[in-house]
Amino acid sequence: MKLNNQSVKKLRKDFPIFENQKELVYLDSASTTQKPKQVIKSIVDSYETTNANIHRGIYDLSQKATKKYENSKKIIAKFINTSEKEIIFTKSTTESINLLAYTLPSILQKEKDEIVLTEMEHHSNLVPWQQLAKRNDMKLKFIKIKEDFTLDLEDAKNKITEKTAIVSLTHISNTLGAINPVREIFKLAKKNNSITVLDAAQSIAHMKVDVKKIDCDFLVFSGHKIYAPMGIGVLYGKKELLEKLSPFNFGGDMIKSVTLEGSEWNTIPERFEAGTQNIEGAIALGEAIKYLEKIGVNEIGKWEKELTDYSAKELNQIKGVKIYLPKKHSGILSFNVENLPTHDVASMLDDYDICIRAGHHCNMPLMKKLRISGTARISFAFYNTFEDIDKFIKAIKEIMGKVK
Amino acid sequence: MKHNDLNERMYKEHIMELYKSPNNFGELKNPTHRHTEYNSFCGDEVTINLLVNNAKIKDAKFSGSGCVISTVSSSLLTNKIKGMKVEEIKKLSKVDMLKLLKIKINPARIKCVLLPLEAVMGALR
Ligand SMILES: Cc1ncc(COP(=O)(O)O)c(C=O)c1O
């Protein structure tokens, strides 16, 4: 579907929040996206028509719920070009990364004791690895970012060595919108037999993500950033690696047989899905992806970039506004306003019903590197229009007038 | 909708004016009490200088880098406590601070309002 200001206005009707909040200008989709009625309806449908626990009931209702759950996995698997055997449902990106940080040590080689991340990681792709490093006496290394906010590939070559056990990085920076050269970095990692992890939280809804092309061992994302509900996330892992990993959570459904003395694990992916799952969330995530694919993820990315470039052009014309935008970027734009702390910018825009994010964006080390305490950040989804940006720019100008 | 209703706005004229030219900004030459308080949420930092004599505040100043709300709150609080007894200051609460500002505060920003009060309490401890 071709996206332009007109077609987007039609698609916006799918999102009840814009009907209920007529003045709302939502520029915080990197934090969480709004939900289309197709997804909301799917949640209601699950409870109203197929509510039962999965994998357990002999009866038809449970079979129906199981089928919808399994089908959602197929949709997700196809979306990232893999098999449903390699899709594990979790709560979120954060939980997926924690699962890896706790289970990967069982398959790491002894002589490899370094974890390579980048200077732009979200705290959720940093803190779990810091803890792993502490537990297992490993070392953390960070690929530097350059003046133009891109990753320093020369530095990556120095940091990724035969001692590197794990390379984990974000596909797109949640603060700067930089699209990272993940294939190049993972090639370096593979040359050194390192495990590769991709944090796709910020890319999954905005560009084609193909695990075969990227060639990563693991990939993680959150449903709520791709038009699906909160509390559902995904961990993709290569089958041969998942089979070797020991489980993270123990309990029901992840076992094949249990005696009082011990248990035998279920096959993958169920081995990693202990206990009752967020079934309606999992099903709704499949619906969200179906919805998004009808529009086309590449088309969405193009439209969001157009909105971002227009915003950058408008902001650049305002004296006293500094923007932080790498050349190769997605629909995320960070900026600062002279003489106005970022939290005030966000609060003042809230007076206009404009939602933006302010602060360190769970990126404190990056802020330190840029020598700022935070940024104001706008981020787009396909439902944003040029009118949204015009209202935002007008409000920024008014706000700046107040501190003159 | 919010922006049509001026009463709902946080950033009213009197707030912005006070932010641009706050009262009591700076350091005292010979403070008897001094304390710095931080707000990790937005990186604000407020330092309070007090001159206490006979259990009363003779003079008060504030400094540091803050957002609009904490700057205005500091300015209003330092005005208010000048001449007050230390014992009375220790009874000041969140409600008193909100009364001073005379605006609706978004819950996410309450910390910014309270930061100078915490700094004063810290100084008097
Ligand atoms: C790049 C990145 N990684 C991880 C996360 C964490 O996602 P969640 O809070 O859904 O676990 C975010 C969310 O902001 C993110 O932007």
Q: Residue A14: helix, strand or coil by DSSP?
A: helix
The shortest CB-CB distance from A353 to any of B3, B68, B69 is to: B3
pTM of the model: 0.92
CATH code assigned to A40-293:
3.40.640.10
Q: Which CATH superfamily is domain A5-27+296-403 in?
A: Aspartate Aminotransferase, domain 1 (3.90.1150.10)
**How far apart are the C-alpha atoms of A45 and A280, rounded to whole Å?**
9
Q: Where are the domains of chain B?
A: 3-124
Chain A residues within 8 angstroms (CB to CB) of chain B:
22-23, 340-344, 347-348, 350-353, 358-360, 373-374, 399, 402-403
What pLDDT shows up at residue A167?
98
CA distance A380 to chain B (A): 22
What pLDDT shows up at residue B12?
82
Contact yes or no for A255/A270 (Cβ under 8 A): no
Residue the block writes with tokens 């819950």: B107
Percent of chain B scoring above 70 in pLDDT: 93
Q: How far is the CA of A199 from the centre of ligand 1 (A)?
A: 8
Q: What mean pLDDT value characterizes chain B?
A: 90
pLDDT exceeds cutoff 80 at B5: no
A362 labelled catalytic: yes
Nearest 5°: the CA angle A306, A311, A312 is: 100
Question: Which residue in chain A is spatially nearest to B112 when comparing CA positions?
Answer: A343
What pLDDT shows up at residue B6?
62
- Over the stretch B11-56, which tens digit does the pLDDT of each residue have? 888 899 999 999 999 999 999 999 999 987 777 899 999 999 999 9
**How far apart are the C-alpha atoms of B122 and B90, rounded to whole Å?**
10
Alpha-carbon distance values, A294 to A2, A11, A39, A80, A220 (Å): 11, 11, 14, 15, 23
pLDDT exceeds cutoff 60 at B119: yes
CATH code assigned to B3-124:
3.90.1010.10
pLDDT exceeds cutoff 70 at B2: no
What pLDDT shows up at residue B65?
80
Query: Three-class SS string for A335-392?
Result: EEECCECHHHHHHHHHCCCEECEEECCCCHHHHHHHCCCCEEEEECCCCCCHHHHHHH
- Mutation test residue for ligand 1: of A31, A33, A90, A93, the one with most atoms within 8 Å of CB: A93
Mean pLDDT by groups of 10 residues along chain A of 404 residues: 96 97 97 98 98 89 95 98 98 98 94 97 97 97 94 97 98 96 98 98 98 97 98 98 92 85 88 94 98 97 98 97 95 94 93 93 84 92 98 96 85
**How far apart are the C-alpha atoms of A53 and A65, rounded to whole Å?**
7
What's the pLDDT band for B1 if we cut at 50, 70, 90?
very low
pLDDT exceeds cutoff 50 at B7: yes
Query: Three-class SS string for A146-215?
Result: CCCCCECHHHHHHHCCCCEEEEEEECECCCCCEECCHHHHHHHHHHCCCEEEEECCCCCCCCCCCHHHHC
